[in-house]
Amino acid sequence: MGRGLGLTTVAGNDPFDGLDIPDDPSADLDRATQALTIRTEERRYGKHMVVIAGFDDSVEPESLASELKSALGTGGTVKEGHIEIQGDHEVRIRDLLTERGYQITG
């Protein structure tokens, strides 16, 4: 008998079943290599708007904007490749993006 790695599989049983492995593991690398900038602007009537910029072509800002708006319970939009979130949520947005693997520079 030969020596193996000690892993045995039974037909139909995948040893990786149940593990949280994304369909595209390189997607995390794409996020980690981007340097996003976040700033708060004061708009008309003293309203605050958080602007997130610095996305490259590998990220769809529309889907990220939707996730952020849902998590924060606020409105926002995507304009010219950057995300605008209504309200003074800069600190929370920084935390959410860091949790998702993005690098924040400003």
Q: What's residue 83's pLDDT?
A: 96
**pLDDT at position 4 over 60:** no
What is the arithmetic mean of pLDDT over 89-99? Answer: 94
Structural domains present in the chain: 26-104 (3.30.780.10)
**Per-residue model confidence (pLDDT) at position 56:** 84
Mean pLDDT of 8-15: 61
Q: What is the pLDDT of residues 30-83, one digit of tens each?
A: 556 678 999 999 999 999 999 999 988 777 899 999 999 999 999 999 999 899
Q: Which of 4-13, 25-34, 77-86, 96-105 has the highest mean pLDDT?
A: 77-86
Long-range contact pairs involving 83-90 (C-beta distance under 8 Å, separation at least 24): 83/51, 83/52, 83/53, 84/49, 84/50, 84/51, 84/52, 85/49, 85/50, 85/52, 86/47, 86/48, 86/49, 87/48, 87/49, 87/50, 88/40, 88/48, 88/50, 89/50, 90/38, 90/39, 90/40, 90/50
- Using a cut of 0.75, tell me whether the model's pTM lies above it: no
